[in-house]
Amino acid sequence: MQYQAPPWLPGGHAQTIWPALFARRYEGSPPQFRRERWQTPDGDFVDVEHLIDPATTPATTPTAAPSTGPAATPAERPLLVLFHGLEGSVESQYVQAFAAVAQQRGWAFAMPYFRGCSGELNLAPRAYHSGDYTEIGWMLEQLRASHRGPIIAVGISLGGNALLRWAQEAGDSAAQTVKAVCSVCSPVDLTAAGHAIGKGFNGLVYTRMFLRTMMPKAMSKLKQHPGLFDAERMRRVRNLYEFDNIFTGPVHGFRDVDDYWLRASAKPHLARIRIPALVLNARNDPFVPAHSLPEQSHVGAHVTLWQPREGGHVGFPSGRPPGHVRTMPQRVTDWLATRL
């Protein structure tokens, strides 16, 4: 991916924060969604946001791409599935930008929420994590069962690492479900990224932002399931390493945070992927150190690496102030469209 940040927005932090808060996400009217609830095999639930049918929501700009053909019904169009990042939602800038691009292309779009992220606490004694490939696989199976057209999937940050882990574990069988996958700004080396986000400016800004929602949800989970973890230790948490060591790792079957970060990382298994996979990381991403990114020797023939020098963490702003965040979703969907 050839990308150059606008001169007025230099540096990885600016290219991360400004796009999330101020940049334009779509042209014309915002994407509209309908929510569906799925019951999970373990007696819990997940919610899914579906883009309202593009066939009944006309594109509002002359740049809209034509649909896949006049004979295609909504269930036969390509379906773009997006897995959000840590504490993400349908309000996240990248969700709205990808949904808008999908609508312009005449594609269907769905965003499953990870457990506890849809605004309602989930029921089971668990939440979600970076290596949750079993959950990713189950979600894709539900969508495959209800959609006749081709499916492609994008994962953002945490969601991208989990999506790659699913593709790795699924091997050749992944092609029965999806045509291609893409991870965007994913911490494929969770140990490197986990330590980086706790240092300096990262710890002061991003870590505090994530813990502001994660810790109350964990304490609510403890009320649901007394004894799930030590409440006093949780109250002393100051970074994601400590949070994952007390909650995310042990609650999801890992020995501790180090075991979790090691076993959940996608980087060591990239050569196992057997479907087209795009791994996109900006080299100035504050969350994901450039030295931790995969090299060509780490991947197999099915994996394409895009590592532009700039972009920040899921930022990739373009244009004049206030800028927009459509460039990256457009480039990613261009790549995915050639794999349909």
| CB-based burial label for 63 (10 Å; 0-12, 13-18, 19+) | exposed
DSSP state of 223: H
> Which residue, among 293, 281, 295, 302, has the nearest Cα to 156 in the 3D structure?
281
Q: Is 313 a catalytic residue?
A: yes
Rounded to whole angstroms, how far apart are CA atoms 127 and 109? 24
Residue of 92, 118, 130, 157 marked catalytic? 157
Report pLDDT for 66.
39
Q: Is the model's pTM score more than 0.85?
A: yes
For residue 31, what are its two tokens?
């994407």
Question: Residue 73: its pLDDT value, please?
Answer: 65
Q: Which distant-in-sequence residues (6+ apart) come within 8 Å of 22 by Cβ?
A: 322, 323
- Return the pLDDT at 62: 36
Residue 157 annotated to the active site = yes
Taken in order of first residue, the domains within the chain and their CATH numbers are 12-188+270-337 (3.40.50.1820), 190-264 (no CATH)
* pLDDT digits (tens), the chain, 340 positions: 889 999 999 999 999 999 999 999 999 999 999 999 999 999 999 999 999 975 554 444 333 343 343 445 667 899 999 999 999 999 999 999 999 999 999 999 999 999 999 999 999 999 999 999 999 999 999 999 999 999 999 999 999 999 999 999 999 999 999 999 999 999 999 999 999 999 999 999 999 999 999 999 999 999 999 999 999 999 999 999 999 999 999 999 999 999 999 999 999 999 999 999 999 999 999 999 999 999 999 999 999 999 999 999 999 999 999 999 999 999 999 999 999 9
Catalytic residue, chosen from 84, 147, 252, 313, is 313
Cα separation of 112 and 75, whole Å? 17
Tell me if 190 sits within 8 A of 161, measured CB to CB.
Answer: yes
pLDDT of residue 1: 86
**Res 57: pLDDT:** 46
Cα maximum dimension of the chain: 60
**Of residues 47, 132, 189, 285, which has the active-site annotation?**
285
Supply the pLDDT for residue 76. Answer: 87
Active site residue 285: yes
Q: What's the rounded Cα separation, in Å, for the pair 254 and 79?
A: 33
